[in-house]
Chain A
Amino acid sequence: MQALYAQLLVGLINGSFYALLSLGLAVIFGMLNIINFAHGALYMMGAFVAYFLLNLGGINYWWALLIAPIIVGIFGMILERTMLQWLTGLDHLYGLLLTFGIALIVQGVFQNYFGSSGMPYAIPDQLKGGMNLGFMFLPVYRGWVVIFSLVVCLATWFLIEKTRLGAYLRAATENPTLVRAFGINVPRMITLTYGLGVGLAALAGVLSAPINQVRPLMGADLIIVVFAVVVIGGMGSIMGSIITGFALGVIEGLTKYFYPEASNTVVFVLMVLVLLVKPTGLTGRAA
């Protein structure tokens, strides 16, 4: 029983990353109608920016949490301005192919210079060590990841669903022409939204840097699972992606305990089941 508690907690930790990443994807898909396959590469860039900040600029983890999402977010906005914006109104497939291509190029460039095994990034001193919870030894850093990402997820949900800015944003996706008539700069809002989604990916990257290696392929390994999470939660649903992210982390954790061989397929089995029963995803609206 004790082992089970531990596995649940470990699942929640992984779920935090799924939630943060799928949240960014959901924001981008919900507002821009783009299936952002570059998300994994941008997550990886977040981790790399943190690495560079520390090793070249001597800037610590805490600042990296703030700076890396901004830098990568700006990179994302440049992508949106120069390339993605021309795809508005076209079939989803074009956005998917373009962003997938971008992801391959970004990963290729990083791999060329840094190889595949990646670089170490130390856990910040304040979060080193762990505490004994009785049923398991919890590294402080992992606890921090769960709490921090929960806060970020809920803040993003609040921003989009409960504030005036979020209302503009949602209105702009429903009917851009009308919103523009009210004097709101819709293209700029869309660019900023893409920047926000990308920033969330970069933030997840910084969070994961001390746990995983800072590796060029760290995002490629994760992105497929995260897409499954988004599909299960319902494309474009903010709350859906947060809840599914955490829930799938837990389910995967339990699989690792009961039948480890299936741990990297269980998410996809679930995805198939959900699609069979409810093709729009658990919380998705009908297309």
Chain B
Amino acid sequence: MKTRSLASFLLTTALTFAAAGVASAQDKTVKIGALSDQSGLYADLGGPGSTLAAQMAVEDSGLTAKGWKIDIISGDHQNKPDIGTAIARQWFDVDKVDIIVDVPNSGVALAVNNVVKEKNGVYINSGAATSDLTNAQCTPNTVHWTYDTYMLAHTTGQALVKAGGDTWFFLTADYAFGAALERDTTAVITANGGKVVGGVKHPLNTPDFSSFLLQAQASKAKIIGLANAGGDTTNSIKQAAEFGIVKGGQKLAALLLFLTDVKAIGLETAQGLNFSETFYWDMNDQTRAFSKRFSERMKNGAMPTMVQAGVYSGLRHYFKALEALGGNPHDGVKVVEKMKSIPTEDDLFGKGEIQPNGRTIHNAYLFEVKKPSESKGPWDFYKLVGTVPGDQAFTPLSESKCALLKK
């Protein structure tokens, strides 16, 4: 009697487990959380546009027609790491989110990075710049799409030093991102024989830069490196023009400049700036087609930034991995492993790959802002100056400090 009940117990358990195994392999539900700055200084480069990009990725993947059920929710981290992590935790615990995308602001991005690892979700970061995400702070759950501070330093920074800009003064946003960008750029400057003569760290979201600009002017550095982003960069550039900095012979290095920033500054002031991005809407027929569809659905008709494009293409790749797995295992490490095993290829970023540390490798481009007379339309801003192949633009694996590589 006793043995029989034990046997039947074991049998039922085994059957239940088997059933569960089958169910999970065929589970075709996915929940995406688009976490961004929805209303602050980074809202235009990510924000609602990133949520739209995520929606378009779902639609274009064609998975819903194949029986998948994919939901997107969005959240506003307000550029505060504590709010970002609280939303991420709630998404994983209560809303059963599988993947978090976008997350501009390196401070928030690094904090959320830990939560995603702890909850074994998937994290495709497109918005944040810090190269730490795939170096010291890398996790098996994280993929860093689009750009990072290493790439910005080795494209814009390197090009300027090689063009003779060998003394630098930094205006640095006083948080994780600014520090990482200044660190990576300084490494490039010194490696190329240049020198950093000074710098100031300014609080995030500073309306008035005149005081800092005067210090930069007094330093007599040939290049004033702007290690900041969004509204901080646009204000620095506008006010630098006002104080006659460029006319005085110093050059501005906008280390990170987005399409929406150029729009905000206006071509009159922004013309001639050199900077780098990995995506521009007017690169080829595919990018133009995507951007047109995107812009038609944006409330203010904006073209996509590289961050928003990265959300789209990152998610498309994620869906490829899920399809290859035949279902959603709800296991972040497993999905990211699959993502790394498939080469990346899409209309927006072209061919590339995800390295073992989570870094996505693709081409980067050097651009120059057009003169007002050269611009033919409301978003016609960039002139392509050069292309840097992915393996030169991003951290070589031999230099990466990611612990995953030591296995």
What residues of chain A have their CB less than 8 Å away from a CB belonging to chain B?
3, 6-7, 10-11, 13-14, 111-120, 122-123, 130, 136-137, 139, 141-142, 211-213, 215, 217-218, 221-222, 253, 256-257, 260-261, 263-264
Contact of B211 among A122, A222, A253 (CB under 8 A): A253
Partner of B214, one of A6, A215, A221, A264: A6
Q: List, sorted by A's number, 12 A–B pairs whose CB atoms are closer than 8 Å.
A: A3-B218, A114-B300, A115-B260, A116-B43, A118-B231, A122-B266, A130-B242, A130-B243, A213-B264, A221-B207, A261-B203, A263-B203
Residues of chain A within 8 A (CB-CB) of B201 are: 260-261
Max chain A Cβ within 10 angstroms of own Cβ: one of B202, B211, B261? B211
Which candidate, B186-194, B233-241, B330-338, B354-362, is the interface stretch facing chain A?
B233-241
On whether the beta carbons of B231 and A215 are closer than 8 Å, the reply is: yes
Would you call B231 and A260 a contact (CB within 8 A)?
A: no
| Interface members, chain B 201-217 (any A CB < 8 Å) | 201-203, 205-208, 210-212, 214-215, 217
A10 & B242 in contact (Cβ 8 Å cutoff): no
A142 touches which one: B174, B200, B242, B269 (CB < 8 A)?
B242
Q: Which of B39, B43, B211 contacts A257 (CB 8 A)?
A: B211
Residue from A113, A117, A222, A257 within 8 A of B230 (CB atoms)? A117
Is residue B132 contacting chain A, with contact meaning CB distance below 8 A? no
Interface check B40, CB cutoff 8 A: yes
Which of B214, B217, B235, B265 is the most central at the interface, judged by chain A CB atoms within 10 Å of its CB?
Answer: B214
Chain A residues with CB under 8 Å of B263's CB are 117
B-side contacts of A111, CB under 8 Å = 39, 43
Q: How far does the Cβ of A161 sit from chain B's closest Cβ, in whole Å?
A: 30
Q: How far is the CA of A218 from the CA of B235 in the complex (A)?
A: 12
A10 touches B211 (CB 8 A): yes
User: Which residue from chain A places its CB closest to the CB of B230 in the assembled complex?
Assistant: A117
Binding site for A on B (CB under 8 A): 39-45, 47, 174, 200-203, 205-208, 210-212, 214-215, 217-218, 230-231, 234-235, 238-239, 242-244, 248, 260-261, 263-266, 268-269, 299-300, 302
Query: Contact partner of A256 among B205, B212, B248, B260, CB < 8 A?
Result: B212
Nearest opposing residue in chain A for B171, CB measure: A260
* Given A7-B211, A115-B44, A263-B203, also A213-B238 (CB < 8 A): yes
Please name the residue on chain A nearest to B211 by beta carbon: A256
CA of A221 to CA of B231 in the docked complex: distance in angstroms? 12
Which single residue of chain A is at the shortest CB-CB distance from B48? A115
- How long is the Cα–Cα vector from A211 to B208 in the complex, in angstroms? 8
User: A256 to nearest B CB, angstroms?
Assistant: 4
The residue among B210, B260, B268, B302 with the most chain A CB atoms within 10 A of its own CB is B210
A116 and B207 contact, Cβ closer than 8 Å, known pairs A3-B215, A137-B244: no
Chain A residue numbers with a CB within 8 Å of B40 are 116, 217
Q: Tell me the bound Cα distance from A122 to B268 in angstroms.
A: 9
Q: Report whether A117 and B261 are in contact in the complex, using a CB–CB cutoff of 8 Å.
A: yes
Collect the chain B residues with CB atoms within 8 Å of residue A215's CB.
231
Q: A267 → chain B, closest Cβ, in Å?
A: 12
* A-side contacts of B206, CB under 8 Å: 263-264
Distance between A258 CB and nearest chain B CB, rounded to angstroms: 11
Nearest B residue to A119 via CB reads B264
Closest A residue to B264 using CB positions: A117
Residues of A within 8 A of B211 (CB): 7, 10-11, 253, 256-257, 260, 263
Return chain B residues, CB-CB under 8 Å to A117: 41, 44-45, 230-231, 234, 260-261, 263-264
- Residues in A with CB closer than 8 Å to B215 are 3, 257
Query: How far does the Cβ of B214 sit from chain A's closest Cβ, in whole Å?
Result: 5
A115→B217 CA distance, assembly (Å): 32
Compute how far the CA of A263 lies from the CA of B208 in the bound complex, rounded to whole angstroms.
11
Point out which of A123, A218, A260 has the most chain B C-beta atoms below 10 A from its C-beta.
A260
